[in-house]
Structure 1
Amino acid sequence: MGKLIVHQDKVTDINAMISICPFNALEEKDGKLEVNAGCKLCKLCVKKGQPGAMEYVEEEVKTVDKSLWNGITVYVDHVNGEIHPVTFELLGKAGELAKKINHPVYAIFIGSDIEKKAEELLHYGVDKVFVVDAPELKDFQMESYTAAFEAFVNEIKPSAILVGATPVGRQLAPRVASRFNTGLTADCTILDIHENTDLVQIRPAFGGNIMAEILTPNSRPQLATVRYKIMDAPERSAEAKGEIVKISVPAEKLKTRTQVLGITQKQKEKSIENADILVVAGRGLKKKEDIALVRELADALG
Protein backbone atom coordinates (compact mmCIF):
# COMPACT_ATOMS: atom_id res chain seq x y z
CA MET A 1 0.00 0.00 0.00
CA GLY A 2 1.26 3.47 -0.83
CA LYS A 3 0.33 7.10 -0.32
CA LEU A 4 0.49 10.43 -2.12
CA ILE A 5 2.66 13.28 -0.86
CA VAL A 6 1.97 16.87 -1.90
CA HIS A 7 5.02 19.09 -2.37
CA GLN A 8 3.39 22.46 -1.85
CA ASP A 9 6.41 24.43 -3.12
CA LYS A 10 6.04 22.73 -6.52
CA VAL A 11 2.31 23.47 -6.87
CA THR A 12 1.97 26.46 -9.20
CA ASP A 13 -1.75 26.22 -10.01
CA ILE A 14 -4.02 24.52 -7.44
CA ASN A 15 -7.16 24.63 -9.61
CA ALA A 16 -5.31 22.99 -12.50
CA MET A 17 -4.20 20.18 -10.21
CA ILE A 18 -7.73 19.72 -8.83
CA SER A 19 -9.15 19.42 -12.36
CA ILE A 20 -6.86 16.47 -13.14
CA CYS A 21 -8.39 14.11 -10.57
CA PRO A 22 -11.44 12.17 -11.88
CA PHE A 23 -12.45 11.23 -8.31
CA ASN A 24 -12.50 14.77 -6.85
CA ALA A 25 -9.87 13.62 -4.36
CA LEU A 26 -7.80 16.81 -4.61
CA GLU A 27 -9.05 19.95 -2.87
CA GLU A 28 -7.88 23.34 -1.69
CA LYS A 29 -7.71 24.01 2.03
CA ASP A 30 -6.28 27.19 3.52
CA GLY A 31 -4.50 27.91 0.26
CA LYS A 32 -2.87 24.48 0.11
CA LEU A 33 -3.50 21.42 -2.07
CA GLU A 34 -4.65 18.40 -0.07
CA VAL A 35 -5.62 14.78 -0.82
CA ASN A 36 -8.94 13.65 0.66
CA ALA A 37 -10.48 10.22 1.36
CA GLY A 38 -11.80 9.94 -2.21
CA CYS A 39 -8.32 9.13 -3.54
CA LYS A 40 -8.10 5.82 -5.44
CA LEU A 41 -4.33 6.03 -5.89
CA CYS A 42 -4.67 6.06 -9.66
CA LYS A 43 -1.51 8.28 -9.79
CA LEU A 44 -2.96 10.44 -12.58
CA CYS A 45 -1.98 13.56 -10.65
CA VAL A 46 1.61 12.31 -10.50
CA LYS A 47 1.77 11.58 -14.25
CA LYS A 48 -0.13 14.61 -15.59
CA GLY A 49 0.26 17.13 -12.78
CA GLN A 50 2.76 19.92 -12.42
CA PRO A 51 6.33 18.54 -12.28
CA GLY A 52 7.29 17.41 -8.77
CA ALA A 53 4.00 18.56 -7.21
CA MET A 54 2.79 15.05 -6.38
CA GLU A 55 4.84 12.05 -5.32
CA TYR A 56 3.70 8.45 -4.79
CA VAL A 57 5.63 6.51 -2.15
CA GLU A 58 5.25 2.91 -1.04
CA GLU A 59 4.61 2.61 2.67
CA GLU A 60 6.96 0.36 4.56
CA VAL A 61 5.19 -2.83 5.66
CA LYS A 62 5.65 -3.35 9.37
CA THR A 63 6.43 -6.93 10.33
CA VAL A 64 6.06 -8.72 13.64
CA ASP A 65 8.35 -11.17 15.40
CA LYS A 66 6.04 -14.18 15.36
CA SER A 67 8.28 -16.15 17.70
CA LEU A 68 7.22 -13.84 20.55
CA TRP A 69 3.58 -14.86 20.18
CA ASN A 70 2.67 -18.35 21.33
CA GLY A 71 -0.54 -20.30 21.86
CA ILE A 72 -4.06 -20.64 20.44
CA THR A 73 -6.54 -18.96 22.76
CA VAL A 74 -10.32 -19.38 23.07
CA TYR A 75 -12.46 -16.71 24.70
CA VAL A 76 -14.87 -18.32 27.17
CA ASP A 77 -18.33 -16.97 26.40
CA HIS A 78 -20.64 -17.28 29.38
CA VAL A 79 -23.61 -15.89 31.28
CA ASN A 80 -23.07 -15.77 35.03
CA GLY A 81 -20.45 -18.48 34.72
CA GLU A 82 -22.60 -20.81 32.61
CA ILE A 83 -20.37 -21.53 29.63
CA HIS A 84 -21.84 -21.18 26.14
CA PRO A 85 -21.49 -24.40 24.05
CA VAL A 86 -19.66 -22.50 21.29
CA THR A 87 -16.69 -22.29 23.66
CA PHE A 88 -16.28 -26.08 23.69
CA GLU A 89 -16.53 -26.19 19.90
CA LEU A 90 -13.74 -23.64 19.61
CA LEU A 91 -11.59 -25.53 22.11
CA GLY A 92 -11.80 -28.55 19.81
CA LYS A 93 -10.68 -26.51 16.80
CA ALA A 94 -7.98 -24.77 18.85
CA GLY A 95 -6.59 -28.17 19.78
CA GLU A 96 -6.37 -29.17 16.11
CA LEU A 97 -4.62 -25.94 15.13
CA ALA A 98 -2.23 -25.99 18.08
CA LYS A 99 -1.18 -29.55 17.32
CA LYS A 100 -0.08 -28.54 13.81
CA ILE A 101 2.35 -25.89 15.07
CA ASN A 102 3.20 -27.40 18.46
CA HIS A 103 1.60 -24.57 20.44
CA PRO A 104 -0.36 -24.76 23.71
CA VAL A 105 -4.13 -24.26 23.96
CA TYR A 106 -5.28 -21.45 26.23
CA ALA A 107 -8.66 -20.20 27.40
CA ILE A 108 -9.39 -16.71 28.72
CA PHE A 109 -12.27 -16.60 31.23
CA ILE A 110 -13.43 -13.13 32.33
CA GLY A 111 -16.07 -12.56 34.99
CA SER A 112 -16.85 -12.58 38.71
CA ASP A 113 -16.81 -15.63 41.00
CA ILE A 114 -15.96 -17.91 38.08
CA GLU A 115 -12.87 -19.78 39.25
CA LYS A 116 -14.80 -22.95 40.13
CA LYS A 117 -16.63 -22.85 36.80
CA ALA A 118 -13.27 -22.63 35.02
CA GLU A 119 -12.38 -26.13 36.23
CA GLU A 120 -14.86 -27.60 33.73
CA LEU A 121 -12.69 -26.35 30.86
CA LEU A 122 -9.82 -28.59 31.99
CA HIS A 123 -11.81 -31.58 30.71
CA TYR A 124 -11.55 -30.28 27.10
CA GLY A 125 -7.84 -30.35 26.31
CA VAL A 126 -6.86 -26.91 27.60
CA ASP A 127 -3.28 -26.45 28.77
CA LYS A 128 -4.01 -23.31 30.76
CA VAL A 129 -7.18 -21.45 31.70
CA PHE A 130 -6.41 -17.82 32.45
CA VAL A 131 -8.99 -16.36 34.81
CA VAL A 132 -9.65 -12.66 35.34
CA ASP A 133 -11.99 -12.74 38.33
CA ALA A 134 -13.12 -9.44 39.83
CA PRO A 135 -16.36 -8.00 41.27
CA GLU A 136 -16.25 -5.26 38.61
CA LEU A 137 -16.67 -7.98 35.95
CA LYS A 138 -19.91 -9.45 37.32
CA ASP A 139 -21.97 -8.13 34.42
CA PHE A 140 -20.72 -7.87 30.85
CA GLN A 141 -19.67 -4.29 30.22
CA MET A 142 -17.69 -3.39 27.16
CA GLU A 143 -15.03 -1.16 28.68
CA SER A 144 -14.12 -3.38 31.64
CA TYR A 145 -14.12 -6.63 29.65
CA THR A 146 -11.99 -5.09 26.90
CA ALA A 147 -9.51 -3.86 29.52
CA ALA A 148 -9.32 -7.33 31.09
CA PHE A 149 -8.84 -8.95 27.67
CA GLU A 150 -6.14 -6.42 26.81
CA ALA A 151 -4.27 -7.21 30.03
CA PHE A 152 -4.33 -10.92 29.18
CA VAL A 153 -2.97 -10.37 25.66
CA ASN A 154 -0.22 -8.08 26.90
CA GLU A 155 0.89 -10.62 29.50
CA ILE A 156 0.54 -13.91 27.58
CA LYS A 157 0.94 -12.82 23.93
CA PRO A 158 -1.19 -15.53 22.22
CA SER A 159 -0.62 -16.05 18.51
CA ALA A 160 -4.30 -16.46 17.67
CA ILE A 161 -7.59 -15.87 19.47
CA LEU A 162 -10.88 -17.57 18.61
CA VAL A 163 -14.14 -15.96 19.75
CA GLY A 164 -17.68 -17.24 19.44
CA ALA A 165 -19.86 -15.08 17.18
CA THR A 166 -22.39 -14.51 19.97
CA PRO A 167 -23.83 -11.10 20.85
CA VAL A 168 -21.03 -10.67 23.40
CA GLY A 169 -18.27 -12.02 21.14
CA ARG A 170 -19.29 -9.81 18.24
CA GLN A 171 -18.96 -6.72 20.45
CA LEU A 172 -15.78 -7.72 22.25
CA ALA A 173 -13.58 -9.11 19.46
CA PRO A 174 -13.43 -5.95 17.29
CA ARG A 175 -12.54 -3.80 20.28
CA VAL A 176 -9.70 -6.12 21.27
CA ALA A 177 -8.47 -6.14 17.67
CA SER A 178 -8.54 -2.34 17.65
CA ARG A 179 -6.46 -2.15 20.84
CA PHE A 180 -3.67 -4.09 19.13
CA ASN A 181 -4.12 -2.63 15.64
CA THR A 182 -4.57 -6.12 14.24
CA GLY A 183 -6.99 -7.87 11.89
CA LEU A 184 -10.27 -9.60 12.70
CA THR A 185 -12.18 -11.97 10.43
CA ALA A 186 -15.86 -12.34 11.34
CA ASP A 187 -18.08 -15.41 10.98
CA CYS A 188 -15.42 -17.87 9.85
CA THR A 189 -16.62 -21.28 8.70
CA ILE A 190 -13.20 -22.92 8.16
CA LEU A 191 -9.96 -22.41 10.07
CA ASP A 192 -6.48 -23.74 9.30
CA ILE A 193 -2.94 -22.69 10.13
CA HIS A 194 0.41 -22.49 8.36
CA GLU A 195 3.69 -23.69 9.81
CA ASN A 196 4.74 -20.07 10.33
CA THR A 197 1.68 -19.67 12.66
CA ASP A 198 -0.35 -17.60 10.15
CA LEU A 199 -4.00 -18.39 10.80
CA VAL A 200 -5.99 -19.21 7.64
CA GLN A 201 -9.44 -17.70 8.11
CA ILE A 202 -12.07 -18.71 5.56
CA ARG A 203 -15.54 -17.20 5.40
CA PRO A 204 -18.34 -16.76 2.84
CA ALA A 205 -18.30 -13.48 0.93
CA PHE A 206 -20.48 -11.72 -1.66
CA GLY A 207 -23.65 -13.34 -0.38
CA GLY A 208 -22.04 -16.75 -0.09
CA ASN A 209 -21.03 -16.90 -3.76
CA ILE A 210 -17.33 -17.19 -2.94
CA MET A 211 -15.20 -18.31 -0.02
CA ALA A 212 -12.67 -15.67 1.02
CA GLU A 213 -9.35 -16.85 2.46
CA ILE A 214 -7.96 -14.22 4.81
CA LEU A 215 -4.59 -13.98 6.55
CA THR A 216 -3.08 -11.33 8.82
CA PRO A 217 0.64 -12.12 8.41
CA ASN A 218 2.06 -8.82 9.64
CA SER A 219 0.30 -8.42 12.98
CA ARG A 220 -0.41 -10.35 16.16
CA PRO A 221 -2.58 -11.52 17.78
CA GLN A 222 -4.78 -12.89 15.00
CA LEU A 223 -8.51 -12.77 15.78
CA ALA A 224 -11.45 -14.66 14.30
CA THR A 225 -15.06 -15.08 15.30
CA VAL A 226 -16.87 -18.35 14.57
CA ARG A 227 -20.59 -19.03 14.61
CA TYR A 228 -22.18 -21.57 16.92
CA LYS A 229 -22.58 -25.12 15.54
CA ILE A 230 -19.92 -24.68 12.86
CA MET A 231 -17.14 -26.65 14.60
CA ASP A 232 -17.31 -30.00 16.39
CA ALA A 233 -16.93 -30.01 20.17
CA PRO A 234 -14.47 -32.60 21.55
CA GLU A 235 -15.53 -35.38 23.88
CA ARG A 236 -15.36 -34.45 27.55
CA SER A 237 -12.53 -36.36 29.21
CA ALA A 238 -13.10 -37.85 32.64
CA GLU A 239 -9.76 -36.56 33.87
CA ALA A 240 -9.09 -32.85 34.24
CA LYS A 241 -5.75 -31.81 32.74
CA GLY A 242 -4.01 -28.45 32.63
CA GLU A 243 -3.97 -25.64 35.14
CA ILE A 244 -5.87 -22.52 36.12
CA VAL A 245 -3.84 -19.31 36.20
CA LYS A 246 -5.12 -16.11 37.75
CA ILE A 247 -4.50 -12.77 36.09
CA SER A 248 -4.99 -9.70 38.24
CA VAL A 249 -6.00 -6.40 36.68
CA PRO A 250 -5.91 -3.16 38.70
CA ALA A 251 -9.41 -2.07 39.70
CA GLU A 252 -8.92 1.39 38.17
CA LYS A 253 -8.45 -0.23 34.74
CA LEU A 254 -11.80 -2.00 35.08
CA LYS A 255 -13.72 1.20 35.69
CA THR A 256 -16.55 1.85 33.26
CA ARG A 257 -18.71 4.84 32.43
CA THR A 258 -21.87 2.73 32.41
CA GLN A 259 -23.81 1.08 35.20
CA VAL A 260 -25.99 -2.03 34.93
CA LEU A 261 -29.28 -1.22 36.67
CA GLY A 262 -30.95 -4.55 35.93
CA ILE A 263 -31.11 -7.48 33.55
CA THR A 264 -34.29 -8.74 31.92
CA GLN A 265 -34.19 -12.29 30.63
CA LYS A 266 -35.27 -12.61 27.02
CA GLN A 267 -37.78 -15.34 26.24
CA LYS A 268 -36.28 -18.22 24.30
CA GLU A 269 -37.31 -18.28 20.66
CA LYS A 270 -37.16 -21.02 18.09
CA SER A 271 -34.97 -20.05 15.17
CA ILE A 272 -33.40 -21.82 12.22
CA GLU A 273 -29.95 -20.79 13.47
CA ASN A 274 -30.29 -23.05 16.52
CA ALA A 275 -32.15 -25.92 14.85
CA ASP A 276 -30.44 -29.31 14.62
CA ILE A 277 -32.40 -30.26 11.49
CA LEU A 278 -33.75 -28.06 8.71
CA VAL A 279 -36.29 -29.30 6.16
CA VAL A 280 -36.16 -26.96 3.17
CA ALA A 281 -38.60 -26.73 0.26
CA GLY A 282 -37.46 -25.29 -3.06
CA ARG A 283 -38.80 -24.73 -6.54
CA GLY A 284 -39.51 -28.43 -6.93
CA LEU A 285 -42.84 -27.73 -5.24
CA LYS A 286 -45.24 -26.76 -8.01
CA LYS A 287 -48.49 -26.44 -6.05
CA LYS A 288 -49.69 -25.77 -2.52
CA GLU A 289 -50.70 -29.38 -1.95
CA ASP A 290 -47.07 -30.50 -2.36
CA ILE A 291 -46.22 -28.91 0.99
CA ALA A 292 -47.89 -31.91 2.64
CA LEU A 293 -44.92 -34.03 1.48
CA VAL A 294 -42.51 -31.62 3.17
CA ARG A 295 -44.50 -31.69 6.40
CA GLU A 296 -44.52 -35.49 6.30
CA LEU A 297 -40.73 -35.55 6.03
CA ALA A 298 -40.38 -33.00 8.84
CA ASP A 299 -42.61 -35.09 11.10
CA ALA A 300 -40.60 -38.23 10.28
CA LEU A 301 -37.39 -36.43 11.29
CA GLY A 302 -38.91 -35.07 14.46
Structure 2
Amino acid sequence: MKERRTVVDGLWWGLLVLWLVSILFPVIWVFYESLKTNREFFMDVWKLPEALQWENYRNAWVKYKIGPSMLNTLYYVGVGLTLGTLLTTLNAFVLTRLEFKGRKLIWATIMFSLFLPGINALIPQYVVMRSLHLTNSLTGLTLLHVLSESVFFLMLLGGFMQSLPKELEESAFMDGASLLQVFARVIMPLSMPGIVTVAIFKFLGLYNHFLGPFIYLSDQAKYTIGVNMYQANMMMQYTADWVTLFAGVVIAMVPSVVAFMFFQRSIIEGATLGAVKG
Protein backbone atom coordinates (compact mmCIF):
# COMPACT_ATOMS: atom_id res chain seq x y z
CA MET A 1 0.00 0.00 0.00
CA LYS A 2 1.45 3.32 -1.07
CA GLU A 3 1.92 5.96 1.59
CA ARG A 4 -0.37 8.95 1.01
CA ARG A 5 1.17 12.38 0.80
CA THR A 6 -0.37 15.04 3.01
CA VAL A 7 -0.55 18.79 2.49
CA VAL A 8 2.17 19.22 5.10
CA ASP A 9 4.45 16.84 3.14
CA GLY A 10 3.84 18.91 0.03
CA LEU A 11 4.75 22.11 1.86
CA TRP A 12 7.95 20.57 3.16
CA TRP A 13 8.89 19.39 -0.33
CA GLY A 14 8.18 22.86 -1.68
CA LEU A 15 10.41 24.46 0.97
CA LEU A 16 13.21 21.97 0.24
CA VAL A 17 12.98 22.70 -3.49
CA LEU A 18 13.13 26.46 -2.82
CA TRP A 19 16.13 25.92 -0.56
CA LEU A 20 17.84 23.84 -3.26
CA VAL A 21 17.20 26.52 -5.88
CA SER A 22 18.55 29.26 -3.58
CA ILE A 23 21.79 27.28 -3.22
CA LEU A 24 22.26 26.13 -6.81
CA PHE A 25 21.12 29.27 -8.62
CA PRO A 26 24.11 31.50 -7.62
CA VAL A 27 26.58 28.72 -8.47
CA ILE A 28 25.02 28.10 -11.89
CA TRP A 29 24.76 31.83 -12.57
CA VAL A 30 28.46 32.42 -11.81
CA PHE A 31 29.45 29.52 -14.08
CA TYR A 32 27.12 30.80 -16.81
CA GLU A 33 28.55 34.32 -16.66
CA SER A 34 32.16 33.02 -16.67
CA LEU A 35 31.61 31.83 -20.27
CA LYS A 36 30.80 35.30 -21.63
CA THR A 37 32.81 38.28 -22.73
CA ASN A 38 32.77 41.40 -20.57
CA ARG A 39 30.80 43.20 -23.29
CA GLU A 40 28.09 40.53 -23.24
CA PHE A 41 28.04 40.56 -19.43
CA PHE A 42 27.46 44.33 -19.21
CA MET A 43 24.91 44.38 -22.04
CA ASP A 44 22.60 41.68 -20.62
CA VAL A 45 23.42 39.31 -17.75
CA TRP A 46 20.66 36.88 -18.85
CA LYS A 47 21.34 36.71 -22.57
CA LEU A 48 23.04 33.59 -23.94
CA PRO A 49 26.68 34.10 -25.02
CA GLU A 50 27.40 34.10 -28.73
CA ALA A 51 30.31 31.73 -28.12
CA LEU A 52 31.53 29.96 -24.98
CA GLN A 53 34.63 31.79 -23.73
CA TRP A 54 36.60 28.92 -22.16
CA GLU A 55 39.77 31.01 -22.37
CA ASN A 56 38.44 32.99 -19.42
CA TYR A 57 39.55 30.10 -17.23
CA ARG A 58 43.08 30.17 -18.63
CA ASN A 59 43.20 33.94 -18.15
CA ALA A 60 41.99 33.62 -14.57
CA TRP A 61 44.58 30.94 -13.77
CA VAL A 62 47.41 33.13 -15.05
CA LYS A 63 46.15 36.59 -14.06
CA TYR A 64 45.23 35.73 -10.47
CA LYS A 65 48.11 33.27 -9.94
CA ILE A 66 45.71 30.55 -8.88
CA GLY A 67 48.36 27.84 -9.22
CA PRO A 68 50.67 29.18 -6.46
CA SER A 69 47.72 30.02 -4.21
CA MET A 70 46.40 26.48 -4.67
CA LEU A 71 49.80 25.11 -3.61
CA ASN A 72 49.72 27.33 -0.51
CA THR A 73 46.21 26.09 0.22
CA LEU A 74 47.30 22.48 -0.30
CA TYR A 75 50.07 22.91 2.29
CA TYR A 76 47.78 24.70 4.74
CA VAL A 77 44.94 22.22 4.34
CA GLY A 78 47.10 19.09 4.13
CA VAL A 79 49.24 19.72 7.20
CA GLY A 80 46.39 21.28 9.18
CA LEU A 81 44.03 18.42 8.33
CA THR A 82 46.53 15.67 9.22
CA LEU A 83 47.78 17.14 12.49
CA GLY A 84 44.40 18.58 13.48
CA THR A 85 42.51 15.32 12.99
CA LEU A 86 45.17 13.39 14.92
CA LEU A 87 45.09 15.88 17.78
CA THR A 88 41.28 15.88 17.92
CA THR A 89 41.28 12.07 18.01
CA LEU A 90 43.83 12.04 20.83
CA ASN A 91 41.89 14.66 22.79
CA ALA A 92 38.61 12.80 22.39
CA PHE A 93 40.27 9.55 23.48
CA VAL A 94 41.78 11.08 26.60
CA LEU A 95 38.61 12.91 27.63
CA THR A 96 36.22 10.01 27.03
CA ARG A 97 38.17 6.79 27.61
CA LEU A 98 40.57 7.66 30.43
CA GLU A 99 39.71 8.29 34.08
CA PHE A 100 41.77 10.97 35.85
CA LYS A 101 41.28 13.79 38.29
CA GLY A 102 40.04 17.00 36.73
CA ARG A 103 38.54 15.34 33.64
CA LYS A 104 35.04 16.63 34.37
CA LEU A 105 36.41 20.11 35.05
CA ILE A 106 38.19 20.10 31.68
CA TRP A 107 34.98 19.02 29.93
CA ALA A 108 33.02 21.72 31.75
CA THR A 109 35.56 24.34 30.68
CA ILE A 110 35.35 23.14 27.09
CA MET A 111 31.56 23.28 27.17
CA PHE A 112 31.70 26.77 28.69
CA SER A 113 33.78 27.93 25.72
CA LEU A 114 30.72 27.34 23.52
CA PHE A 115 29.22 30.52 25.00
CA LEU A 116 32.23 32.65 24.02
CA PRO A 117 32.21 34.09 20.48
CA GLY A 118 35.34 32.96 18.63
CA ILE A 119 35.92 36.51 17.37
CA ASN A 120 36.91 37.51 20.94
CA ALA A 121 40.08 35.44 20.64
CA LEU A 122 41.38 37.23 17.55
CA ILE A 123 43.33 39.97 19.32
CA PRO A 124 44.95 37.73 21.99
CA GLN A 125 45.85 35.19 19.31
CA TYR A 126 47.38 37.84 17.10
CA VAL A 127 49.44 39.25 19.98
CA VAL A 128 50.77 35.77 20.78
CA MET A 129 51.49 34.98 17.12
CA ARG A 130 53.32 38.27 16.67
CA SER A 131 55.37 37.70 19.84
CA LEU A 132 56.42 34.27 18.52
CA HIS A 133 57.23 35.75 15.07
CA LEU A 134 54.67 33.46 13.41
CA THR A 135 52.73 36.12 11.49
CA ASN A 136 53.00 36.12 7.69
CA SER A 137 53.85 32.42 7.86
CA LEU A 138 51.86 29.53 6.45
CA THR A 139 53.43 27.23 9.03
CA GLY A 140 52.45 29.57 11.86
CA LEU A 141 48.93 29.85 10.50
CA THR A 142 48.70 26.06 10.27
CA LEU A 143 49.91 25.60 13.85
CA LEU A 144 47.36 28.14 15.06
CA HIS A 145 44.55 26.20 13.47
CA VAL A 146 45.83 22.83 14.69
CA LEU A 147 46.13 24.01 18.29
CA SER A 148 42.75 25.79 18.24
CA GLU A 149 40.61 22.78 19.06
CA SER A 150 36.95 22.76 17.99
CA VAL A 151 34.35 21.91 20.62
CA PHE A 152 32.01 20.59 17.94
CA PHE A 153 34.56 18.04 16.71
CA LEU A 154 35.39 16.96 20.26
CA MET A 155 31.71 16.43 21.05
CA LEU A 156 31.10 14.54 17.79
CA LEU A 157 34.09 12.21 18.10
CA GLY A 158 33.84 11.97 21.89
CA GLY A 159 30.21 10.87 21.63
CA PHE A 160 31.22 8.20 19.15
CA MET A 161 34.07 6.90 21.32
CA GLN A 162 31.89 6.81 24.43
CA SER A 163 29.67 4.24 22.73
CA LEU A 164 32.52 1.70 22.48
CA PRO A 165 32.45 -1.01 25.20
CA LYS A 166 35.03 -0.69 27.95
CA GLU A 167 35.67 -4.43 27.71
CA LEU A 168 37.61 -3.86 24.49
CA GLU A 169 40.30 -1.89 26.28
CA GLU A 170 40.32 -4.18 29.31
CA SER A 171 40.90 -7.26 27.17
CA ALA A 172 43.67 -5.46 25.27
CA PHE A 173 45.38 -4.47 28.54
CA MET A 174 45.11 -8.07 29.75
CA ASP A 175 46.91 -9.17 26.57
CA GLY A 176 49.78 -6.84 27.45
CA ALA A 177 48.97 -3.90 25.18
CA SER A 178 50.18 -0.45 26.18
CA LEU A 179 47.95 2.63 26.29
CA LEU A 180 49.31 3.81 22.94
CA GLN A 181 48.68 0.40 21.39
CA VAL A 182 45.11 0.38 22.69
CA PHE A 183 44.56 3.78 21.11
CA ALA A 184 46.18 2.90 17.77
CA ARG A 185 44.95 -0.69 17.36
CA VAL A 186 41.59 -0.73 19.12
CA ILE A 187 40.00 2.69 19.52
CA MET A 188 41.12 4.34 16.26
CA PRO A 189 39.98 1.54 13.90
CA LEU A 190 36.60 1.27 15.63
CA SER A 191 36.16 5.06 15.61
CA MET A 192 37.08 5.44 11.94
CA PRO A 193 33.57 6.51 10.76
CA GLY A 194 33.62 9.38 13.25
CA ILE A 195 37.24 10.26 12.43
CA VAL A 196 36.46 10.38 8.70
CA THR A 197 33.49 12.66 9.37
CA VAL A 198 35.63 15.02 11.45
CA ALA A 199 38.35 14.99 8.77
CA ILE A 200 35.86 15.93 6.04
CA PHE A 201 34.43 18.80 8.07
CA LYS A 202 37.96 19.97 8.87
CA PHE A 203 38.88 19.87 5.18
CA LEU A 204 35.89 21.99 4.20
CA GLY A 205 36.57 24.40 7.06
CA LEU A 206 40.26 24.77 6.24
CA TYR A 207 39.74 25.16 2.52
CA ASN A 208 37.05 27.81 2.97
CA HIS A 209 38.79 29.55 5.87
CA PHE A 210 39.24 33.23 5.06
CA LEU A 211 39.58 35.34 8.20
CA GLY A 212 42.73 33.69 9.58
CA PRO A 213 44.77 33.78 6.35
CA PHE A 214 43.50 37.30 5.64
CA ILE A 215 44.68 38.58 9.03
CA TYR A 216 48.00 36.74 9.37
CA LEU A 217 49.31 36.65 5.78
CA SER A 218 50.62 39.91 4.34
CA ASP A 219 52.83 38.51 1.56
CA GLN A 220 50.84 37.94 -1.62
CA ALA A 221 53.05 34.98 -2.52
CA LYS A 222 51.71 33.17 0.58
CA TYR A 223 48.01 33.83 0.01
CA THR A 224 45.57 30.92 0.17
CA ILE A 225 42.91 30.61 -2.51
CA GLY A 226 40.26 32.39 -0.42
CA VAL A 227 42.39 35.47 0.22
CA ASN A 228 43.65 35.42 -3.36
CA MET A 229 40.12 35.55 -4.76
CA TYR A 230 39.21 38.32 -2.31
CA GLN A 231 42.12 40.42 -3.61
CA ALA A 232 41.00 39.66 -7.16
CA ASN A 233 37.55 40.95 -6.27
CA MET A 234 39.08 44.16 -4.90
CA MET A 235 40.74 44.71 -8.28
CA MET A 236 37.34 44.93 -9.99
CA GLN A 237 36.95 48.58 -9.00
CA TYR A 238 39.87 49.33 -11.33
CA THR A 239 39.58 46.72 -14.11
CA ALA A 240 35.93 45.51 -14.14
CA ASP A 241 37.04 42.20 -15.70
CA TRP A 242 34.13 40.35 -14.15
CA VAL A 243 33.99 37.31 -16.41
CA THR A 244 37.60 36.43 -15.58
CA LEU A 245 36.83 36.84 -11.89
CA PHE A 246 33.82 34.53 -12.23
CA ALA A 247 36.05 31.95 -13.90
CA GLY A 248 38.48 32.19 -10.99
CA VAL A 249 35.64 31.75 -8.50
CA VAL A 250 34.48 28.60 -10.31
CA ILE A 251 38.01 27.17 -10.23
CA ALA A 252 38.25 27.95 -6.51
CA MET A 253 34.95 26.16 -5.82
CA VAL A 254 35.86 22.93 -7.58
CA PRO A 255 37.96 21.19 -4.84
CA SER A 256 35.44 21.73 -2.02
CA VAL A 257 32.44 20.82 -4.19
CA VAL A 258 34.12 17.64 -5.42
CA ALA A 259 35.18 16.68 -1.88
CA PHE A 260 31.67 17.17 -0.54
CA MET A 261 30.07 15.20 -3.39
CA PHE A 262 32.57 12.37 -3.05
CA PHE A 263 32.29 12.08 0.75
CA GLN A 264 28.64 13.06 1.15
CA ARG A 265 27.58 9.58 2.28
CA SER A 266 30.43 9.40 4.81
CA ILE A 267 29.47 12.79 6.28
CA ILE A 268 25.83 11.78 6.78
CA GLU A 269 26.60 8.29 8.11
CA GLY A 270 29.37 9.44 10.46
CA ALA A 271 27.38 12.34 11.88
CA THR A 272 24.31 10.12 12.39
CA LEU A 273 26.29 7.35 14.07
CA GLY A 274 27.98 9.84 16.41
CA ALA A 275 24.65 11.42 17.32
CA VAL A 276 22.83 8.14 17.91
CA LYS A 277 25.56 6.33 19.81
CA GLY A 278 26.67 9.36 21.81
Question: Which structure carries more helix by proportion?
Answer: 2
For the aligned pair, the TM-score class normalised by the smaller chain equals under 0.3
Question: Which structure carries more strand by proportion?
Answer: 1
Larger RCO (alpha carbons 8 Å, 6+ apart): 2
- TM-score computed with the length of structure 2 as normaliser: 0.23
Higher Cα Rg, which structure: 1
- TM-score computed with the length of structure 1 as normaliser: 0.21
